[in-house]
Amino acid sequence: MSTRNRGPKIGLSTASVYPESTASGFELAARLGYDGVEVMVGIDPLSTQVDALKRLVDYHQLPVLAIHAPCLLITQRVWGTDPWGKLERSAEAATELGADVVVVHPPFRWQREYAKGFVEGVARLEAETGVAFAVENMYPWRAPGKGLQAYAPSWDPTEHSYAHTTLDLSHSSTAEQDCVELAHRMGETLTHIHLTDGTGSAKDEHLVPGRGTQRAGDLLAMLANRDFRGHIVIEINTRRSASRSEREVDLVESLEFTRKHFTRGPVAVDGRRTASYSVTSDGEVSELET
C-alpha cells in the first residue's frame, strides 16, 4: 500500500470525481499521488459491491480509508431503506476493506424513530463493530428569511456526546461557522476531515480548498500542531469540469494545498489572537498563546 505520506493519510473521496465512476476515483487517486480513498456508497452500483472494491484496492495498491454511509437524499434506497441496516452494512464493508472509519450524517428530522435513538445507537454500533462512526457536521437548510432545521437531533455534532466526529468545511461554510473554531470545539472527538471550501453561500459548494472563505490552511496547521492522526479526505465538487484534465487540475491543487499547509505553526483560533498547541506524551493538548 502507499507510503507517500508519513503523517495523516490524505485520501480522495470518490464523490470528488462525479460524474465519473468509483473505479475512476481509485485510478485518479493512485495516479495523482493520494494515500487512499474514501468510498461514497451511492448510486454507482460498484460502490456497493465489496468484492469489486477489493479488486480495485488490489489493482491500484491503494487502501480504502473510510466508507461514507449511504445517507444522502439520493441514496435513500441504497442498501435498503432501514437506516440502521445501512450503518451495519457500512461497518461490514469497512471491516472487509480494512477501513477504520464510517462517515455518517445525522438523521433527517422526518426520520423520527431513527433520530430518537441516534446518539445511543451510534455508540452501540461502535462497541459492537470496533469501527469508528464519525458523525459529520451538517447545516440548517437556508431559505430567504428563515432556516429549516432538516437534521435531528442536531446538524451540529458538538451538541451531543459522539465519540468520533467528521469536520466538513463546505458544511461549516454553509452553516456560517468558522472551521477552526468548530475543530476546537470538537476537540479529541475530531477523527476525520472532509477538506474542501465554501464562500458562505446557502448552497453546499464543496470548492477546492483555498478558493473559498473557510480557513482551510489554518485548520491544517492546527491539526499538525495537535499531531492529528486521523484521515484528511479531499471532497470537492468537480462535476462542472469541462474535461478530465480540468478535473485533474482541481484534484492536484487540493492535494498540494493539503501537503503545503499541514505544518506546525501559529493559528488564529477566534480571529483576534493566534495560538499554538503542544501535545504531551500522554496525548493531552494544551493551548499556548503567542
Side chain identity at 233, as an amino acid letter? V
The model carries a pTM of 0.90
Instruction: Tell me the β-bridge partners of 190.
Output: 165
Confidence grade of residue 38 (pLDDT, cut at 50, 70, 90) = very high
- The per-residue pLDDT for 142 is 72
- What is the arithmetic mean of pLDDT over 28-55? 98
The per-residue pLDDT for 264 is: 85
Q: How far apart are CA 4 and CA 176, in angstroms?
A: 35
More confident: 131 or 4? 131
Q: Where are the extended beta strands (E) located within the chain?
A: 10-13, 36-40, 64-68, 101-104, 132-136, 141-143, 146-148, 165-168, 190-195, 231-234, 267-268, 274-279, 285-289
∠ Cα 104 109 115 (to 5°):
60
Residue-level pLDDT at 266: 78
183-219 pLDDT tens trace = 999 999 999 999 999 999 999 999 999 999 999 999 9
- In terms of C-beta distances under 8 Å and separation of at least 24 residues, what long-range contacts does 118-124 make, across chains too? 118/152, 118/153, 119/153, 119/160, 119/161, 119/162, 121/84, 121/87, 122/87, 122/162, 123/162, 123/163
Cis peptide before 157 (omega within 30 of 0): no
Q: Are 56 and 39 in contact (CB under 8 A)?
A: no
Cβ neighbours of residue 117 closer than 8 Å, sequence gap 6 or more: none
Provide mean pLDDT across the span 153-169. Answer: 97
Is the pLDDT assigned to residue 270 strictly greater than 80?
A: no
pLDDT in tens, 88-132: 999 999 999 999 999 999 999 999 999 999 999 999 999 999 999
Question: b vs e for 137-158, b when ≥16 Cβ sit within 10 Å of the residue's Cβ?
Answer: bbbbeeeeeeeeebbbbbbbbb
For residue 102, what are the β-bridge partners? 67, 133
Express as a percent the part of the chain with pLDDT over 70: 88
For range 12-22, the mean pLDDT: 98
Rounded mean pLDDT, 228-243:
97
Taking the C-alpha atoms of residue 86 and residue 60, their distance in angstroms, rounded to an integer, is 27
Model confidence at 265, pLDDT cuts 50, 70, 90, reads: confident
User: All domains of the chain, ordered by start, with CATH?
Assistant: 10-289 (3.20.20.150)
72-81 pLDDT, tens per residue?
Answer: 989 989 999 9
CB 97 within 8 A of CB 57: yes
- DSSP assignment of 141-196: EEETTEEE--BSS-S-GGGTT-S-EEEEHHHHHHTT--HHHHHHHHGGGEEEEEE-
pLDDT of residue 143: 64
